[in-house]
Chains A and B, each alone.
Chain A
Amino acid sequence: MTRSVTTPRSPLLALEKVEKIFGGLRAIGGVSFAVEPRQIFGLIGPNGAGKTTIFNVVTGVYQPDGGRVRFDGEDISGWPPAKVAARGIARTFQNIRLFRSMTVEQNVMVAGFRIHKAGLLSAVLRNQRYMDDEREFRRRAAELLDIFKLKELAAEPADSLPYGSQRRLEIARALMLSPKLLLLDEPAAGMNSQEAAELEKQIRFLRDELGLTVVLVEHNMSVVMAVCENIHVVDHGETIAEGPPALVKEHPKVLAAYLGEESEEQAVAEYEAVSRPFHDKPPEPDHD
């Protein structure tokens, strides 16, 4: 065993020069960052910077074309999504992916599959083990729905919920996995300022009370600046800045990326990216 010595603050999630290429498009070009345990970490960047692609590589939806993803001391690069989720990384989706026809409670209970003990035979026989499972899942789902103020809506179909509640339901569902790391993909999208403020509280609650590590992709800068302790900025698939909010906010490259003060080189690079044929674009509609 040549395992490196784990210092008390070894990162929970570490990306090492991760690359992802779609045809001719370099969606991520060697991004590295580390997320410490119990940290709220922000991943920001302009549209199309590769943030969601990074999430998809971490959760196994995409295979990285280079580099490594380490989680909790283990190399998880290229693992299938279900295995990554079972290992302790839960996520939400940018374009809400709830199980629409199922009730709010059932949506949360689905994520309990990993820890369910009653197999198919128990379910068919409706024996004690099945009853225990169901009761335990109901209890845990009720707890989570309570935290996210969805308890009254437990029996409603998920797609009848207002947008903000659907986003909160996605987080509740992710937590049913009892993850160590939670990846939130634009959790504040479509929320009004009051809902966003509530979300900030909930994200802090996840870390302070549940001991979770949170990585956040978000465009709502007031949310990012308020909750994140460390921010990583990407543009065109490359890291342009990293550090605490106050520092990142003033970084010239970040200002350039967001306000459009581009150098000539960047403008040319952008032009090239735009002029590539459409079939080189990522197949998944899930990107930024």
Chain B
Amino acid sequence: MPGHPQLGTKDWLIRVVISSGVVAGIWGLGLGVQAGLIEYVQRIVLLCGINIILAVGLNLINGTTGQFSIGHAGFMAVGAYATAFVGVKLAPGVAAALGAGALADGVVFNVALLVGALLSGVAGLAVGVPSLRLKGDYLAIVTLGFGEIIRLVFNNTKALGSATGYFGDSPAGLPPYTSFFWVWLWVVIVVLIVRNITFSQSGRSLIAIREDEIAAEAMATPTTRLKVTAFTVSAATAGIAGGLFAHMQSGIRPEDFKFEKSIDMIVMIIIGGLGSISGAVIGGIFLAVTLELMRDLQEYRLVLYALLLVIIMIVRPEGLLGTRELSLSFFKRKAGAK
């Protein structure tokens, strides 16, 4: 998109107006969803949003940068536990200061989510720095290990409920902070951040690393630094998704973040098309819906799941969108495309 030559106060004002409109729109939609849909469907709508955050975040490292992480459930777990724990500890203090209610809940939830994102980002940094210095598939092996280790850590941490899971301090379990409004607001924020990174000089360099790391280095690209940055951002978004996921239910268990969860995320971005943000969005929604539809099939669900993947690999190996993005011009171009 051709940028404005000068970015004036007017442009920022337009941005503020658009943002406010989007926030109001999500708020309105949320009210509609709450009034019009049964609770079961509402839950799927929330899961769709969380999946989108997971898929779009994972796509930044697996799709755009081409460095395969297969342990993102671990970062989701860090975010989930951190958000839940911080939220529970913070709630009484904030409620006392602001008075119990939607405002206090919103403040507590978002501060907790940010702490969760920060901690999973730090975890991402710790995993990324040693493994991304190397070329090749080391990241896959290290993240696989990390995902399992982090799950076992939570499984054995008494303060976080060990294998039973963490349900907060009250017998009612974790407070149900996760609403349509917060989930989809975070979807917009995460998608916007990832999109703006992808379509910038840094994003171009990330794609260059995917395409040819040796050539990227020869073009003075600090490849390790960029890979680690992308991975950290990706881990942080998984943390946010984890936090939103945690407060959707009364508690979180280590088994919610098993290896299968990481595979689910990879399936989302492969279905949508590796390297495409809109593809990740579609993949995230697709998986939330199909997993729910197939819930009654119990174990056979995995068979169907595998079959589905095989069919996609045969019919459309590049995923639904390939590396393309959905936009208005995409639909216009479609008629004349190859």
* A interface, CB within 8 angstroms of B: 59, 61, 80-83, 85-86, 90-91, 93, 97-102, 106, 109-114, 116, 118, 120, 123-128, 130-131, 133-135, 137, 173-174, 176-177, 286
Contact = CB atoms under 8 A, between A and B. Distances in A.
B216 interface: yes
Interface residues of B, number: 31
Given A120-B197, A176-B219, 6 more contacts: A85-B218, A86-B220, A98-B212, A99-B216, A118-B201, A134-B200
B215 interface: yes
Interface string B208-242: 10011011111111110000010000000000000
8 contacts: A61-B214, A112-B201, A123-B200, A123-B203, A125-B196, A134-B3, A135-B5, A174-B218
B7 interface: yes
Given A109-B204, A110-B221, A120-B229, A101 B323 contact: yes
Nearest to B3: A131
Given A106-B204, A109-B201, A124-B193, A91 B211 contact: no
Contact of A177 (B196, B215, B219): B219
B178 interface: no
B219 A116 contact: no
Contact of B211 (A59, A93, A99): A99
B220 A124 contact: no
Contacts of A85: 217-220
B207 A99 contact: yes
A73 B98 CA distance: 65
Contacts of B208: 99, 102, 110
A7 B233 CA distance: 50
Contacts of B203: 123
A116 B201 contact: yes
The 6 closest A-B pairs by CB, nearest first: A123-B200, A85-B220, A97-B215, A99-B211, A81-B217, A111-B219
Given A82-B223, A113-B205, A101 B217 contact: no
A173 B214 CA distance: 14
Nearest to B195: A124
Contacts of A125: 196
Contacts of B215: 93, 97-99
A139 B192 CA distance: 26
B217 A97 contact: no
Contact of B4 (A131, A177, A286): A131
B192 to A, nearest CB: 8
B6 interface: yes
B201 A81 contact: no
A59 B218 contact: yes
Contacts of A116: 201
A125 B215 CA distance: 29
B202 interface: yes
A119 B223 CA distance: 15
A59 B217 CA distance: 10
Contacts of B201: 109, 112-113, 116, 118, 123, 133-134, 137
Contact of A128 (B6, B193, B197, B222): B6
Contacts of B192: 124
Given A97-B214, A99-B208, A101-B207, A123 B221 contact: no
B196 A126 contact: yes
A135 to B, nearest CB: 6
B197 A123 contact: yes
Nearest to A99: B211
B43 to A, nearest CB: 31
A51 to B, nearest CB: 17
Contacts of B205: 110, 113
A114 B220 contact: yes
B193 A101 contact: no
Contacts of A135: 3, 5
Interface in B183-202: 192-193, 196-197, 200-202
Contacts of A90: 218-219
B197 A110 contact: no
Contacts of B223: 82
Which of A82, A125, A128, A174 gathers most chain B CB within 10 Å? Answer: A82
A77 to B, nearest CB: 17
Contacts of A101: 207, 211, 323
Interface in B159-183: none
B61 to A, nearest CB: 14
A109 B220 CA distance: 12
Contacts of A82: 217, 220-223
Contacts of A91: 218
A135 B5 CA distance: 8
Contacts of B6: 128, 131
Contacts of A123: 196-197, 200-203
A86 B219 CA distance: 8
A81 B212 CA distance: 14
Interface string B133-144: 000000000000
